[in-house]
Structure 1
Amino acid sequence: MSDAAPRLTTFAEELLRSPFPLRVRAWDGSESGPPDGPVLVVRHRRALRRLLWRPGELGLARAWVAGEIDVDGDLYTALDRLSGFVWERQAQRPSPRDPGVRSALRSLAALGGPLPPPPPPVEEIRRRTGPLHTRRRDRQAISHHYDVGNPFYEIVLGPSMVYSCAYWDDAGAPGGAVTLEKAQRAKLDLVCRKLGLTADQRLLDVGCGWGSLAMHAAGEYGVRVTGVTLSREQAAYARKRIAEAGLTDRIEIRVQDYRDVRDGPYDAISSIGMAEHVGATRYLEYARRLHGLLKPGGRLLNHQIARRPEENEAAYRVDEFIDRYVFPDGELSPLGSTVSTLEQAGFEVRDVESIREHYALTLRRWVANLEAGWARAVRLTSPGRARVWRLYMAASAVSFERSRIGVNQVLAVKTPRGGASGLPLRTRVWS
């Protein structure tokens, strides 16, 4: 009897008490659900055992990475419908003790079979123990995410090799004339202008990645740059690019923790997409260290993804898929918390620019790059790793589009005692 898909649909609807928004196609050939739009394909009953043993996002993520579930049709539409289905009904989720839920779980167990849970895909990082954000643990987390091979990142990021959101104008919308590379260059230049860089100043680039901002700042503004990263692969790649561009006399790349930088003062500090790795327990220390490394009047540009504040902040938990497969130990903070902590560390916050929509556009370009280079990406890493990145980037794009997360550039100044910040009187006139 081919009835797996209707039974799966019934399970989801009993759990969340609402019609399931996608058509389901099961391994036995059965289908169920609305006829239009993308189809959730359950290729193997093993996916159900993963869900039984780890209900929620981690079980689904493991099934996705293992190739046991997939989407036939537009991935963004599927993720948008699924995320809305879950997001809007979290408060309505019934208790596991509810008779209807218990009946649905028994049905799912019968459908998935009695075997024990399958082992997690090899791409999943092992659960960590001990204190968060020690130097050793941060090195391991960064290595998991960034040391998967520079050629893989070349496929995803394109020639700019910038791993943070680009800065688009209206031509950057789908079908527009602006390329990802031009939009990334616009972002790098925006950062330099906000920092007010001039020739022979010293810039510290915290989390310098593959060296793109350091090269732009040195090449276009004549500054001397120190870039720090915990990724040895990033550092090697950046040094090679810098040498090829003839900028070794102006840029130094170090494999170094930001907590170990001792050679201030700097005229300016950039932290672009790095603070998400710092963690709430270390954020004040991070802010104070950067404040201490700046000269009076020096500027900090902190470019950081933010989440919405929880009604009960103590109940906030990290996304399990992101923590196990993408950014181990990464944490998002609300914008208000970031601004308050920077001020507590002694900074004067002078400008906050939300560029949420820009990240959604950037992520869609990265996904398109990955899909276009799929076969090579799989050869360079693994099928599971490529699936992790496709899901993570597409789901993140939907989250930015739906304003579930945001990204902000916060410009802060180590204002001298005399109060002269050195910033222009009119905001957004960066020079």
Structure 2
Amino acid sequence: MKSPQHLFLFTAAPIVASAYTLHHQQRHPSFAVHNTHPYPQQRSSSRSLYRTDVDPSTLDVLTTSITNSLSDISNKIASRGKQEETHSSESSSSSSLFPAAGGVTLRQAEVEHGMPWKNSVDPKAYADDDDDLLYMKFWEWQMDFMEENLTDLQIVSCTNEDGTDFSHNINKEKKARIVNVCATSKEYRKIRMTYYDAGDNTQVFNAVWYPDPEYNLPVLGIDLLAFNRKKYLAIVDFQPIHDEEKDHSNTYEHLLKPIKEKYDSLKGRMSSKFYDETQHFSEQMLFARFDDEDIVSRDLFPAFKSYVKTHLNLIRSTERRPEDVDMVLSKIKAYDTYSAERDPATGLFAAMYGKEWAEDFVHDFLFSMSVRAEEGATPPANPFMGGGGPPRQGGGNPHAPQQQQPRP
């Protein structure tokens, strides 16, 4: 591939021939490379350069101006190339995130697979119910909130390095589909959203908001599930990346407590039988198991919106600390690895879309900074998603497997 300097050799002649026009042309790093009409429309000034009666000093001034302009443009392109190379290296080492090709917008990514869906993939699902996609309003509200409130919002590709596209998958035989969108902004390194629709069997909305690593702050985690429209599970939390709240740049539980106090239905506690709830869960986590669907709209939806707004406000009130980036990314790596090893959805996705797809999805998309075990991920037992029935009564950690799978 030719260097920027070589490219300018091929474009310099026509630019010299139109020196006056170039001198007044708005300078842009890609001008000489991408302009499909390198010759100006007005050619009188360029022809005058070859007249014998032109003052030599004028030509010297114009030539000097051109030389300086080309040097300036070349330096800008070289600088931009180094920045892109650095960004690519950082993205690869931190999370394998990269912008989607073609400048895809948030709305374009959303509608690519028909989102927001209006009806379930299963035509038998709640034929008499207009609300067969229970959590779609959470998806729609979050999309609107991101678009209206985040700075420099960009879509991130859902394709991993092996070329697997995780943006959509469907099992027509089992009537189950999944859609994913991933974005980045100045406030957040990564925001991923997932909607899983399996008709009257399972409805899931999941989202995780990772702050930019210059903010030493908790991750916002959202997990909302419905089983047979009889049993419901909800978790919304500022998930700490440190063992102690005080080790974050700002404390935050005092911001969440007044919100949680409004909703008695969301004050449940998960069992510690399989899970250490002090690790990556806060004291103000919204947690609920319930069988009254009215709670979704009455309590869960407004509480969810309040937690999302509060998380963004926390970021905006926190000073950036570039010196913390390496430390924060190491904590996120530990968080992702911990979560990937225990994600209860792995078994469901393996059953629906195959083990290889499920493992790659968990490690390359859901928790993209996780470290895989050498023998590969072992899907945990998953007794309540994807046809296994509702969660058992009496609590239990929503993210933990009911039975820990031994590793070789």
Q: Give TM-score scaled by structure 1 length.
A: 0.21
Which one has the largest radius of gyration? Answer: 2
Looking at both structures, which has the greater relative contact order when contacts are Cα pairs under 8 Å and sequence separation is at least 6?
A: 1
Q: Higher helix proportion, which one? A: 1
